[in-house]
Amino acid sequence: MTTKTNQTNQFVNFINGEWIAAASKEKIVNYNPANNEEVVGEVAKSSVEDLDKAVHFAKSASKGWKDLSGAERGQYLYKAADIMERRLEEIAECMTREMGKTYPEAKGETARGVAILRYYAGEGMRAVGDVIPSTDSEALMFTTRVPLGVVGVITPWNFPVAIPIWKSAPALIYGNTIVLKPATEGAVTCAKVIECFAEAGLPKGVINMVTGPGSVIGQAIAEHPDVHGITFTGSNLVGKQIGHQALARGAKYQLEMGGKNPVIVTEDADLDLAVESTISGGLKSTGQKCTATSRVILLNGIYDKFKERLLEKVKDISVGDGMQEGSWMGPCVSERQLETVLHYIEKGKEESGKLLAGGKRLKDDDREKGYFVEPTVFEDVNSEMTIAQEEIFGPVLALMKVDSLEEALNLANDVEYGLSASIFTTNIQQMLSFIKDMDAGLVRINAESAGVELQAPFGGMKQSSSHSREQGQAAKEFFTSIKTVFVK
């Protein structure tokens, strides 16, 4: 088992407890999106052969791992958490340099990773079944939960520490072994998470990481007959494809996908709180959160005041390298993502949205080598427009004006997604209507759309998810199968 920390950020695959190069020996080099001349690190460019090997060893490790007690498995997670906590700043810095979010946000995410590990470590000692009275008075009937076997974990780049952990930790604690395929754009950071597991000394083959193109490695995971469960977070396009492939061969799957999250602000709302939360929810992480606020639905009576205060604040946002103190918003993750954001901004203008702030790439001074874009605000946006319907994944807010809460709710629900939604109001009746009628997996009252707590279920409605839930106790549903036991 390797315990050495990799200081050079040159990683290969982690298979059966060893760091080994891809069969092809090929590599992928990742650059800093704040400065595209700076190399952050490298990972293996693997092929199906490498993936097959990882699945083979994950399968071999299954029996030994599931035969441990939950408490014993939990000890490994506690150890990994301690190691990660010790390396928090180094991991966070790597995250900022690899995918761009600011250093304070990256530290927050890494700390959350540590907390998730500890939460699931404790889970190894909690109940996994029920006793159900049998009609036979001499029998004992109960349920227990058993692992799926080998679980394939496919993750996105926007939370390169938290998402791999919130999938891997429950998978492991309930006795599954895993093959993780991180997003290429966050793979170096994720490799550091794997190092923490390696140093914690998990038995060989229990956790494996294979990096490489999603269309090759992700696809091979989805199709592999020995992968019994697939947990995916990413885009709708890829998620649906994985769902079809898993269904075709009878594997269990879980998909967490996009969002187009609204905030509603009513006339009696705490205006400062609503503006602060809209900015934080919409623009932190450069809008690259599945739960980011995107549509800002304002009641007529508060529209002008809200708009004025929002624009004042947006004007003051400092955009720059996330490692620089004072940068509030970092770059887009890649040139392609930047182009996507600029494309949507053009679309917004073409379709008669009125640009109130931002709209351009920032290329001055230190920023010319990065993928920086201005925080952008549109008004006069209606539901027919592309920027009101499609996920942008960038720092773009669309203001929409309505006359009543009913109209606001209709508008808020008038998209194919249903991940997260907020309302700002002090009126209890309005809160209750929102809780009842908003079609979203997370509804938040007087709080930004992008908040998630690790001990509560997380997931979306409509096209945002496969209707399964992650995190908290909900993770048990996906990562185990129920066995009903009858004893006489």
The rounded distance, in Å, linking the Cα atoms of 388 and 353 is 10
The rounded distance, in Å, linking the Cα atoms of 296 and 299 is 10
Question: Of the two residues 155 and 430, which places its CB atom closer to ligand NAP in the complex?
Answer: 155
Question: Of the two residues 396 and 402, which places its CB atom closer to ligand NAP in the complex?
Answer: 396
Give 229-258 as a DSSP string.
EEEEES-HHHHHHHHHHHHHTT-EEEEE--
Question: Of the two residues 430 and 466, which places its CB atom closer to ligand NAP in the complex?
Answer: 466
Question: Of the two residues 96 and 425, which places its CB atom closer to ligand NAP in the complex?
Answer: 96
Buried b (16+ CB within 10 A) or exposed e, 266-293: bbebebeebbebbbbbbbbbbbbbbbbb
The rounded distance, in Å, linking the Cα atoms of 352 and 255 is 34
Q: Where are the alpha helices (DSSP H) in 87-161?
A: 88-99, 103-123
> Which tokens hold the place of 279?
């900015």
Smallest distance, ligand NAP to C-beta of residue 125, A: 27
| SS3 state of residue 314 | helix
Smallest distance, ligand NAP to C-beta of residue 288, A: 7
Smallest distance, ligand NAP to C-beta of residue 159, A: 6
> Which tokens hold the place of 160?
């390169």
Q: Looking at residue 216, what DSSP letter applies?
A: I
Q: Looking at residue 10, what DSSP letter applies?
A: B
Smallest distance, ligand NAP to C-beta of residue 222, A: 6
Question: Of the two residues 154 and 279, which places its CB atom closer to ligand NAP in the complex?
Answer: 154
How does strand 13-15 pair with strand 18-20?
antiparallel
Smallest distance, ligand NAP to C-beta of residue 108, A: 16
Smallest distance, ligand NAP to C-beta of residue 241, A: 6
> Which tokens hold the place of 263?
């905030």
> Which tokens hold the place of 425?
């109001």
Strand partners, 417: 462
CB 440 within 8 A of CB 420: yes
> Which tokens hold the place of 72?
């014993």
| SS3 state of residue 262 | strand
Smallest distance, ligand NAP to C-beta of residue 479, A: 16
> Which tokens hold the place of 57?
């060893």
CB 128 within 8 A of CB 473: no
Could you give phi then psi for residue 122, rounded to 5 degrees? -65, -30
The rounded distance, in Å, linking the Cα atoms of 230 and 235 is 15
Region of 467 please: left (phi>0), alpha (psi -120 to 50) or beta: left
CB 116 within 8 A of CB 454: yes
- Residues interacting with ligand NAP, by CB under 6 A? 154-159, 181, 183-185, 213-215, 218-219, 222, 233-235, 238, 241-242, 256-259, 290, 391, 393, 419, 460
Question: Of the two residues 144 and 235, which places its CB atom closer to ligand NAP in the complex?
Answer: 235
Q: Where are the beta strands (DSSP E) in 344-447?
A: 354-357, 361-362, 372-373, 376-379, 396-402, 417-418, 420-424, 442-445
Q: How many residues would you count in the chain?
A: 488
Selected catalytic residue, list 190, 196, 290, 332 = 290
Smallest distance, ligand NAP to C-beta of residue 440, A: 12
Question: Of the two residues 14 and 157, which places its CB atom closer to ligand NAP in the complex?
Answer: 157
Question: Of the two residues 215 and 352, which places its CB atom closer to ligand NAP in the complex?
Answer: 215
Smallest distance, ligand NAP to C-beta of residue 427, A: 30
Give catalytic status of residue 374 as yes or no. no
The rounded distance, in Å, linking the Cα atoms of 256 and 471 is 12
Give catalytic status of residue 256 as yes or no. yes
The rounded distance, in Å, linking the Cα atoms of 105 and 96 is 9
Question: Of the two residues 30 and 266, which places its CB atom closer to ligand NAP in the complex?
Answer: 30
Selected catalytic residue, list 109, 256, 391, 448 = 256
Residues with catalytic function = 256, 290
